[in-house]
Amino acid sequence: MHLKRILSAAALLPPVLLIVWYGSPLLFAALVAAVGGLMAWEFYGLLGTRFGPLPRPVGTVLAAAVAAAPALPTGPEGALVFLAFAVIVAALALLLRPGSLESGLGQIAATLLPVLYAGGLLSFAAALQGLPGGREHLLYLLAVTWVADTAAFYGGTALGRTPLSPRVSPKKTVEGSVIGVLAGAAVSVVFQQMVGASLPWWGAALVGLVLAVAGQVGDLAESLCKRSAGVKDTGRLIPGHGGLLDRLDSLLFAAPVYYAIVRLRWL
């Protein structure tokens, strides 16, 4: 399993980093749309085990559009437009659905959730790309979240003894969580020093710590969804990791937090 994780990362990271750094805005938007759509498709698969048939193809397209909108000329306002369409689609799905309306509220919520979760949260990563220094912001976000996530996994595997949240994810440990947070703070300091940022080392460490904690909350949130649906992984797209949601759950929660930090000029 560990070898599969390493090989998958080695195969996927270089093209992603190349697109982030050298790709045109349109190419980057296409990448974000593909990732957001695939994650939404996986999420609809989870929800279908509890809520029955959902408008999966349409919802997937809307999630992809919401995710990519800030990287296109439409900007953040475009994401809001696509979210409005998602609400309309959810209502239509309920109106056209045969049979009892007793589960209608659940159907609407289940139709909207993947668009908000996969598309809406990922759109903050796309929005970062449009800010001054957007490429550096994206690389920083990816570095902190992925290093923290990896350190928490391997640190917990080697040293973990105390369950972090046994009801949600029995394998996650307090020790792994602490190692992940410290790793996120450390890579944040190193990155900020490399780019010559004016932020003091303790400030960089604090931002890295906050992002690592946000990422772990995202990891636990996705674990809760999987446990509620009674599945181990959201998919099999990435060997050793599972689905895209399994690999990017931390990024989804860290992205809006980091976007807020940047927009509030705390970094």
164 phi, psi to nearest 5 deg: -85, -50
Q: Residue 222: which of 96, 101, 109, 117 has the closest Cα? A: 117
Question: At 171, is the pLDDT very low, low, confident or very high (cuts 50, 70, 90)?
Answer: confident
14-18, 28-32, 41-45, 92-96 — which is least confidently predicted?
A: 92-96
pLDDT > 60? residue 70: yes
8-12, 67-71, 135-139 — which is least confidently predicted?
A: 8-12
Three-class SS state of 165 = strand
Q: Residue 68: which of 29, 122, 121 has the closest Cα? A: 29
pLDDT on residue 238: 73
Record the pTM: 0.91
> In the chain, what are the domain boundaries?
23-130, 133-267
45-59, 121-135, 253-267 — which is least confidently predicted?
A: 45-59
3-7, 41-45, 146-150, 160-164 — which is least confidently predicted?
A: 3-7
